[in-house]
């Protein structure tokens, strides 16, 4: 059975209500750094319970991956040719332990299969910043097209601080 990563964001009141409404689900409350909103995240084998979810199918993960701490989601819109090279890069990340990392996941957007993502979990912001300076992350960052001319070249990231 496939595994999914779902999240949604909103006011603290709405996110707290989700936790109350679905006590048997593995929902986790997160802060969105620098924003007044919060998010609820879930790794599950079930469909999303949110009205407006952002959902991904998990295609791979590192051994003993744990969704906790500071979580970074990096999303790439790739052509089929780029995706082949990107996949080899991600598979090498999944196969080799990354110092200080609590988990790495390879994801595919359920709404648009050309959107793929890497999600990582870290004990703190300092560890995430060290990862961003590493050669392993630099290999991944080569797929960031910060000079995108249109939405077909989209790259973005979202950080979450799990409470």
CATH code at position 123:
3.30.70.100
pTM of the model: 0.90
Q: Please, are residues 130 and 124 in contact by the beta-carbon 8 Å criterion?
A: no
Question: Torsions phi, psi of 81, nearest 5?
Answer: -70, -45
Least reliable range by pLDDT among 91-100, 121-130, 133-142: 133-142
Q: Which of 34, 38, 45, 35 is nearest to 7 (CA)?
A: 38
pLDDT band at 146 (very low <50, low <70, confident <90, very high): very low
Please tell me the predicted confidence (pLDDT) of residue 1. 65
pLDDT per residue as tens digits for the range 55-80 = 999 999 998 899 999 999 999 888 88
What is the rounded average pLDDT for all residues in the chain?
88
CB atoms within 10 A of CB 128: 20
Total domains, the chain: 1
The tokens describing 91, both together, are 């598979």
The tokens describing 63, both together, are 């051994």
- Domain containing 62 equals 3-162
């Amino acid at each position: 059975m496939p595994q999914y990563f779902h999240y949604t964001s909103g006011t603290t009141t709405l996110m707290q209500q989700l936790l109350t409404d679905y006590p048997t689900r593995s929902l986790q409350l997160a802060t969105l750094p620098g924003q007044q909103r919060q998010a609820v995240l879930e790794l599950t084998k079930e469909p999303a319970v949110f009205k407006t979810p952002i959902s991904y199918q998990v295609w791979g993960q590192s051994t003993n991956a744990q969704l906790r701490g500071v979580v970074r989601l990096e999303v790439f819109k790739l052509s089929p040719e780029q995706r082949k090279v990107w996949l080899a890069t991600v598979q090498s990340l999944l196969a080799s332990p990354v110092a200080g990392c609590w988990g790495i996941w390879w994801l595919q957007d359920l709404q648009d299969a050309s959107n793929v993502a890497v999600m990582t979990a870290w004990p703190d912001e300092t560890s995430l910043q060290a990862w961003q300076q590493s050669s392993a992350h630099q290999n991944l960052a080569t797929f960031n097209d910060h000079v995108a001319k249109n939405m077909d070249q989209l790259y973005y990231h979202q950080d979450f601080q799990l409470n």
